[in-house]
Homo-oligomer: A and B are copies of this chain.
Amino acid sequence: MVYRVGLLGLGTVGTGVVQMLQQPQHPLLQAVEIAAVGVRSLDKPRQVRIPPERLTTNLEQIVSDPEIDGVIELMGGLEPARSLILKAIDHGKSVITANKAVIARYGEEIFQAAAQAGVAVLLEAAVGGGIPIVQALQHSLRASRIQAVWGIVNGTTNFILSQMAQQGSSFAEALAQAQARGYAEADPSADVEGWDAADKIAILAGLAFGVSVPREAIPCEGIRNISPTDIRYAREWGYTFKLLAIAQRVVAQGSETVLDVRVHPTLLPVTHPLANVHGVDNAVWVQGDPLGQVVLAGPGAGQGPTASAVVGDLLTLRAHLQTGAYLPNPLWGFFGRAAALLPLTELESEFYVRVLAQDQPGVMGAIGTCFGRHRVSLESITQKECHQEQAEIVILTHTVREADCRQALAEIQQLPQVAAIPSLFRVLR
């Protein structure tokens, strides 16, 4: 029996999905029919051939059409995507989506609706493009107790940081290069501020820990403040800058799951598996017990990889239906009760700090004394270059409470010899 799908959105990824399903040798060629495609404009030129009677601007009709078995949502954005997904579920249709923004914010609502309706929601394409991280966390890796998931889950920022590291360019120059290549949008905020990465780590944390992560509560810092100077100094110590999305268990009293979830630029040792992920590639590092450490890496976005993940979900769904199953696979519905998030002030981390101060005796001592007063123990404090009587002092701390470090810095800022503290970044090993 042919599975009839409705496609919402015929942009880059939607076009890629249609191209895959129309390939003469594709395993789903006879099994799946693209019965309707919802678009914004009927007149736009298309790179794929869709019979005109199947193109419609009436997306509501697609999700309520009893002739349609499942819906693939590739519109992006929050609304009307969320409402259409919920309506499709309400009409008994399984949904495949690449929409990380909707799943990160309304995942619990959507999965509860799907559970009630007895349909599936699949989302391999929502995180990591072609990297099969979603199914891995739902199935094989789930047998272990996952302790941590760290990801480079935004290709745009990884491209920018790779360019800065390899060519010594500034953030603005590297951003312009990313825009010229089509990797960054005209308004790059969602990428460079880390919001896209925060959407994705909310989903990965949900999968890995079986909880619902409040998206708006995830601390999120972007990469605009990283300078070529910081990248150079970090490299001298054997570190590279990556925008990491982090989710890990915090040892907690009682049965409550407390998670440390955050997105920020991070100094990572060059020997770490994630440090060698360059350009627009993505990678996710998972640590579990007794699993150990596993890394999945590959193209995190783009037409082909993302379409491949969507069609992979379609294969999975089709295979499921062929088994005679009348319930969706219980491993697919992943959101549980809301997790408590560790406040950043309670975070313990190592820090990299760059201070601009007058080049005169006693400065390093004064800075060191301030740190000491706030129980911030230092690994090193080094005077680097000197311009126009201003010295650049770089500090690496041991593992300390973030609140203590910030209090020390507030005090250091007040020292008469200190001009500015342009950089404060977390270090992970």
Listed by A's residue number, 16 A-B pairs whose Cβ atoms lie within 8 Å are A20-B290, A130-B144, A132-B140, A132-B141, A134-B140, A139-B315, A139-B316, A140-B309, A142-B312, A143-B310, A288-B308, A291-B308, A292-B302, A293-B298, A294-B298, A320-B329
Q: Does A367 contact B (CB under 8 A)?
A: no
Interface residues on A, range: 35 or more
A-side residues, CB < 8 A to B, are 16, 19-20, 23, 25, 27-28, 124, 130-132, 134-136, 139-145, 273, 276, 288-299, 302-305, 307-316, 319-320, 322-331
Distance of A335 from chain B, by nearest CB (Å): 16
**In the complex, which residues of chain B have a beta carbon less than 8 angstroms from the beta carbon of A323?**
320, 323, 325-330
Q: Are B292 and A304 in contact (CB under 8 A)?
A: yes
Q: Are A315 and B143 in contact (CB under 8 A)?
A: yes
Q: Are A291 and B325 in contact (CB under 8 A)?
A: no
**In the complex, which residues of chain B have a beta carbon less than 8 angstroms from the beta carbon of A144?**
20, 130, 304, 308, 311-312
**In the complex, which residues of chain B have a beta carbon less than 8 angstroms from the beta carbon of A290?**
16, 19-20, 303-305, 307-308
Q: Are A312 and B140 in contact (CB under 8 A)?
A: yes
Q: Are A289 and B312 in contact (CB under 8 A)?
A: no
Q: Are B295 and A297 in contact (CB under 8 A)?
A: yes
**In the complex, which residues of chain B have a beta carbon less than 8 angstroms from the beta carbon of A303?**
290
Q: Are B142 and A27 in contact (CB under 8 A)?
A: yes
Q: Are B143 and A136 in contact (CB under 8 A)?
A: no
Q: Are B331 and A315 in contact (CB under 8 A)?
A: yes
**In the complex, which residues of chain B have a beta carbon less than 8 angstroms from the beta carbon of A16?**
290
Roughly how many angstroms separate A25 CA and B331 CA in the complex, as a whole number? Answer: 17
Distance of A275 from chain B, by nearest CB (Å): 10
Distance of A225 from chain B, by nearest CB (Å): 29
Roughly how many angstroms separate A124 CA and B142 CA in the complex, as a whole number? Answer: 13
Roughly how many angstroms separate A237 CA and B19 CA in the complex, as a whole number? Answer: 41
Q: Are A293 and B299 in contact (CB under 8 A)?
A: yes
Distance of A24 from chain B, by nearest CB (Å): 11
Roughly how many angstroms separate A293 CA and B293 CA in the complex, as a whole number? Answer: 21
Distance of A82 from chain B, by nearest CB (Å): 25
Distance of A79 from chain B, by nearest CB (Å): 28
Q: Are B327 and A304 in contact (CB under 8 A)?
A: no
A324-B322 in contact given A135-B139, A135-B140 (Cβ < 8 Å)? no
Q: Are B291 and A130 in contact (CB under 8 A)?
A: yes
**In the complex, which residues of chain B have a beta carbon less than 8 angstroms from the beta carbon of A308?**
140-141, 143-144, 288, 290-291
Distance of A135 from chain B, by nearest CB (Å): 5
Q: Are B294 and A319 in contact (CB under 8 A)?
A: no
A289-B315 in contact given A296-B294, A309-B140 (Cβ < 8 Å)? no
Roughly how many angstroms separate A295 CA and B329 CA in the complex, as a whole number? Answer: 27
Roughly how many angstroms separate A298 CA and B294 CA in the complex, as a whole number? Answer: 4
From B28, B291, B313, B329, give the contact of A319 (CB < 8 A).
Answer: B329
From B143, B310, B313, B316, give the contact of A314 (CB < 8 A).
Answer: B143
**In the complex, which residues of chain B have a beta carbon less than 8 angstroms from the beta carbon of A273?**
276, 297
From B27, B130, B313, give the contact of A294 (CB < 8 A).
Answer: B130
Which B residue's beta carbon lies closest to that of A131?
B294
Roughly how many angstroms separate A140 CA and B312 CA in the complex, as a whole number? Answer: 4
Which B residue's beta carbon lies closest to that of A288?
B308
**In the complex, which residues of chain B have a beta carbon less than 8 angstroms from the beta carbon of A328?**
323
Q: Are A330 and B319 in contact (CB under 8 A)?
A: yes
Distance of A261 from chain B, by nearest CB (Å): 21
**In the complex, which residues of chain B have a beta carbon less than 8 angstroms from the beta carbon of A302?**
292
Distance of A119 from chain B, by nearest CB (Å): 12
**In the complex, which residues of chain B have a beta carbon less than 8 angstroms from the beta carbon of A288?**
308
Distance of A108 from chain B, by nearest CB (Å): 19
A305-B326 in contact given A132-B136, A135-B136, A312-B139 (Cβ < 8 Å)? no
